[in-house]
Amino acid sequence: MQEGDKLFAGSIPALYDRFLVPLIFEAAAEDMAARVAEGDPAAVLEIAAGTGVVTRALAPRLGPECRYVVPDLNQPMLDHARSRQPEVPRLVWQAADALALPFEEASFDVVCCQFGVMFFPDRVAGFREARRVLRPGGRFILSTWDRLELSELPHCVTRAVDELYPDDPPRFLERTPHGYHDPERIRSDLAAAGFGSVAVDFLDAISAAPRAWDVATAFCQGTPMRNELEARGASLEAVTAHAARAVEREYGAGPVSGRIRALVVTAMP
């Protein structure tokens, strides 16, 4: 992972929430919310909440007395998430680093992290922090994307952008969101952090958008791929248009859809 991979600033949070969340995150968020709410936890920590797609799905499922803490390292993303969520007294928004959580040991029944662990500069350290704040018998539930080629729409956009920069292609999607997909590596990292029980499920879904342009905008302008493109002096509109034409050629000019796959991991100390 490169330093710019963690930079979600400027217009990225709003574009991310408008285009990328409905495209690839909402179905996974419903699955995550159902898993976390199982067993009626009394305290939940959601690490790397992003723009709050899991928060919006999970908050209504939790009991009225459940303490729900929602941190993110990136303040612009957290601000956007909070603006989309009704104020609830038991819901606590807090800027925090997943590698140095500002919470006491054994504070939460469930710790969850949807598509955030790929951004941890030290995953074992982050997992160790999740274990530290879990109560005995607690669960750590995380998700990560499978290989890029198993997620058809982002793979199509990546190939299209590669055509424009054959000698120096932007590699954000392959390097970071889709760069942590080996189940055995994940198991090994969790074991190194002190987790004894690890279960890995595969979540297959369909990502869909009203038009190809939405798909291209989602990835070219609503993710840190944008930072890579701007560093190359790219016209974002021109790159987005090129990627949209590629998606249209492969998936049609109207509503588009493609397969996408994630891993959902449940770990217990």
Q: What ranges do the domains of the chain cover?
A: 3-268
Among 211, 220, 86, which Cα is nearest to 161's? 220
Handedness of CA 110, 261, 239, 166 (dihedral sign): positive
In this prediction, residue 251 carries a pLDDT of 96
CATH of domain 3-268: 3.40.50.150
Please report, in tens digits, the pLDDT of each residue of the chain (269 residues total). Answer: 555 444 454 667 788 889 999 999 999 999 999 999 999 999 999 999 988 999 999 999 999 999 999 998 878 878 888 888 887 778 999 889 999 999 999 999 999 999 999 999 999 999 999 999 999 999 999 999 999 999 999 999 999 999 999 999 999 999 999 999 999 999 999 999 999 999 999 999 999 999 999 999 999 999 999 999 999 999 999 999 999 999 999 999 889 999 999 999 999 99
Q: Which alpha helices (DSSP H) does the chain contain, by range? A: 12-15, 26-37, 53-58, 75-84, 123-133, 152-164, 172-175, 183-192, 212-221, 225-231, 236-251
In this prediction, residue 63 carries a pLDDT of 93
In this prediction, residue 8 carries a pLDDT of 52
Sequence-distant (6+) residues with CB within 8 A of 230 are 236
Whole-model pTM: value is 0.93
Q: How many CA atoms lie within 13 A of 227 on its CB side?
A: 16
In this prediction, residue 14 carries a pLDDT of 80
Among 179, 165, 254, which Cα is nearest to 209's? 254
